[in-house]
Structure 1
Amino acid sequence: MKRITAKEVETLLNEGKNLNIIDVREAKEVAAGKIPSTINIPLRLVEFRMHELDKAKEYIIVCRSGARSSRATQLLKGNGFNVINLTGGMLVWEGIVD
């Protein structure tokens, strides 16, 4: 499984890179703060909403600690998506939040 750190994502965003980030936390968790421009697809809905995603794009998957995002990354990778797990999740995120 591909992995990326929160600091690497923050650097890419600060450089103006257009990243496709999916937050798999529940809506209530996301409402408390999320990485700017993320899409919220709770883990329990990922398999039902993957048709909304583009297999030609790369997605960074994030959650609170990295556990749920790891499961989502495995599920999406197994279905042909190019995905990277953000290790440590929002617990280690030090960048700007919406």
Structure 2
Amino acid sequence: MSQIETITTEELQKKLEAGEKLALVDVREDEEVASGMIPGAKHIRMGDIPANQDSFNKDTEYIFICRSGSRSHNVCHYLQEQGYKVRNMVGGMMSWEGEVE
């Protein structure tokens, strides 16, 4: 099992504050994202990822987000096996202290 690259919530917040353009994907359920998502994140529920995998570009690195970091880890593992560049936000939204919208 190959290692999944990770990013901490603090690292992500610094990158966003520095104006970096990042491809963020929130894989939580609808009622979870209703309480706020990281600005700029795209919402694709974990269960909808396989059906949407054609919308991902293999040249882009995607950062996956969930509530605690475990669902996003599973999504990362799945997509990495399909040849996509992925990174998991460890700690998930429970650890996020930045802005939400």
TM range (shorter): over 0.9
Aligned length: 98
Q: 1:48 aligns with which of 38, 48, 51?
A: 51
- Asked if 1:37 is matched to 2:40, the reply is yes
Give the share of equivalent positions with the same residue, in percent.
Answer: 39
Q: What TM-score does the superposition give when structure 1 sets the normalisation length?
A: 0.98
List aligned pairs for 1:1-98, cutoff 5 A.
1-98=4-101
Please list every run of 5 or more consecutive structure 1 residues that lacks an aligned counterpart in the other structure. Answer: none
Distance, in Å, in 2 between the alignment partners of 1:51 and 1:31 is: 26
**Paired residue secondary structure (2:33):** helix
Q: What TM-score does the superposition give when structure 2 sets the normalisation length?
A: 0.95
Root-mean-square deviation (Å)? 0.5
Runs of 4+ displaced beyond 2 Å: none
Tell me how far 1:51 sits from its aligned partner.
0.5
